[in-house]
Structure 1
Amino acid sequence: MAKSLLLISRQAPWSGPGAREALDIVLAGGAFDLPIGVLFLDDGVLQLAPGQQPAALQLKDLGANLQALSLFGVDELFACQVSLAQRGLDPAALNFDEVELLSAPQLAGIIDRYDQVITL
């Protein structure tokens, strides 16, 4: 049986290659039917924010990759409620309805549920 993988994305979409690399790993794992989940933590929750304009920074939009996650069998998406609140993001305004919001105590339980964890 394939081991499950949780990718913890902690990078803002415009702060460097970390956010894109995290999504590339997730999409590759999904293409191989690896049980995979994504946890958006710290500045990583900014990837879920609406109204981003990556072209202004001459960056590619990660939104299309995020929208494609379900096509690759990646249905377990999580976001830290504390990270959202610290960055002034309204959970109701996120680009993705299917993101499960987690309290700080719930984070450890989600991390323990997966066999492998990668943080970028």
Structure 2
Amino acid sequence: MAKSTLIISRQSPWSGPGAREALDIVLAGGAFDLPIGLLFLDDGVFQLAASQNARALQQKDLSANLQALPMFGVEELFACGDSIARRGLDPSGLALEEARVLAAHEITALIDRYDQVITL
């Protein structure tokens, strides 16, 4: 049986390649039916902000990758509620409705559920 993996995405979509790499890993894991989850933490929650204009920053839009996650069988999607609040985002208006918003104390339990954790 494959080990479960949690990817923690901590970078905003425009701060470098980390956000894209995290999504690529999760999509690849989902394509191979691996037990994989994705947690948006710290500035990583900016990936979930609705109506981003990536072109203005000369970046590629990640919203299509986010919307593809459920199609690839990735159902374990989480976002840190404290990170969302600190960055002034509305938890009810996230671009990825499937993401379950967790309180800070729930994140420790989430991490403990997985065999492997990768932070980008």
TM interval, shorter chain, is: over 0.9
- Give the corresponding residue for 1:58: 58
- Give the corresponding residue for 2:30: 30
**CA-to-aligned-CA distance 1:90-118 (integer Å, 9 cap, x gap):** 10111122111100110000000011100
Aligned length: 120
> Aligned-pair distance for 1:30?
0.8
1:69 corresponds to which letter in structure 2? L
Distance in structure 2 (CA, Å) of the matches to 1:108 and 1:94? 22
> Aligned-pair distance for 1:18?
0.4
- Give the corresponding residue for 1:67: 67
Query: Unmatched 5+ residue regions in structure 1?
Result: none
- Give the corresponding residue for 1:114: 114
Indicate the SS of the match to 1:85: helix
Percent identity reads 72
Moved over 4 A (4+): none
- Give the corresponding residue for 2:16: 16
- Give the corresponding residue for 2:76: 76
TM-score with structure 2 setting the length: 0.98
RMSD: 0.6
> Aligned-pair distance for 1:45?
0.3
